[in-house]
């Protein structure tokens, strides 16, 4: 069915080649080699030097992907793994993970709030622009520049920033 190599019957686990893993993981082969070079992902090699991966590699890649989405850089992910290696006992290692995850959780929640706020500002701006629908279509941009027609509300920040007067040269200052 799949282009996946003949695997199932082998019983030795899934031996994915780099192209296969790239496909299933949605990463490029380049990325996989990079991750390996950075110590984020292991591989086996054939005598000829070709990489082979077990199915665990996919788990690892999904993990990496999520951490990336959470804002970890690859070096940071590396540090996380290093911290594990450095730990002598399992609880010690897990506590390190816990610390990092807790910190990231707080960051992520904050980021969610930030984005929600910004989304709200986008909504405000879009609502504000509804007022522009009624502008005279012949209204010259320069004469309007974010519309001097009466609006129900004050221009949101995301609109105000667009105002003329800022780009190359302002005319003599005047509101």
Partner DNA sequence: CTGGAACCTGACGCACGCGTTAGGTTCCGG
Partner DNA sequence: CCGGAACCTAACGCGTGCGTCAGGTTCCAG
Q: Give the residues lining the site for DNA (CB under 7 A).
A: 5-6, 17-20, 22, 27-31, 33-34, 46-51, 68, 72-76
Measure the CA–CA gap between 21 and 4, rounded to whole angstroms. Answer: 9
Distance from the first to the final alpha carbon of the chain: 69
Beta bridge partners of 16: 53
Give which of 48, 74, 70, 60 is closest to 24, Cα–Cα: 60
- Smallest gap, in angstroms, from Cβ of residue 30 to a second copy? 19
- Smallest gap, in angstroms, from Cβ of residue 27 to a second copy? 14
Instruction: Give 24 or 146: the residue with its C-beta nearer to DNA.
Output: 24
Look at residue 50 and give its three-state secondary structure: coil
Choose among a second copy, DNA, none what residue 10 binds, the Cβ cut-off being 5 to 8 Å by kind: none
Look at residue 86 and give its three-state secondary structure: helix
Contact (CB, 8 A) for 30 and 38:
no
Instruction: Give 30 or 44: the residue with its C-beta nearer to a second copy.
Output: 44
Residue 168 has a CB neighbour count (10 Å cut-off) of: 4
Residue 51 within binding range of a second copy, rule CB under 8 A: no
Query: What is the dihedral sign for C-alpha 90, 96, 100, 106?
Result: positive
Choose among a second copy, DNA, none what residue 150 binds, the Cβ cut-off being 5 to 8 Å by kind: none
Taking CB under 8 A as the rule, which mask of x and - marks residues 52-91 in contact with a second copy? --x-xx-xx-xxx-xx-xx----------x--xx-xxxxx
Choose among DNA, a second copy, none what residue 152 binds, the Cβ cut-off being 5 to 8 Å by kind: none
Measure the CA–CA gap between 119 and 16, rounded to whole angstroms. Answer: 42
The residue count for binding a second copy (CB under 8 A) is: 82
- Smallest gap, in angstroms, from Cβ of residue 147 to DNA? 28
Residues numbered 3-42 forming contacts with a second copy, rule: CB under 8 A: 3, 13-14, 39, 41-42
């Amino acid at each position: 069915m799949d282009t996946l190599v003949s695997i199932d019957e082998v019983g030795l686990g899934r031996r994915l080649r780099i192209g296969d893993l790239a496909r299933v993981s949605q990463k490029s082969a380049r990325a996989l080699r990079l991750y390996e070079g950075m110590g984020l992902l292991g591989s086996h090699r054939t005598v000829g030097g070709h990489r082979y991966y077990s199915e665990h590699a996919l788990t690892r890649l999904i993990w990496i992907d999520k951490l990336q989405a959470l804002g970890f850089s690859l070096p940071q992910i590396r540090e996380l793994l290093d911290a594990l290696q450095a730990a002598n006992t399992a609880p010690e290692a897990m506590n390190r993970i816990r610390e990092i995850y807790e910190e990231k959780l707080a960051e992520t929640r904050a980021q969610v709030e930030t984005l929600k706020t910004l989304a709200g500002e986008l909504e405000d701006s879009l609502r504000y622009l509804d007022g522009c629908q009624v502008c005279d279509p012949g209204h010259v941009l320069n004469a309007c520049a974010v519309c001097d027609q009466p609006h129900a509300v004050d221009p949101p920040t995301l609109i105000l920033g667009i105002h003329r007067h800022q780009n190359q040269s302002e005319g003599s200052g005047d509101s």
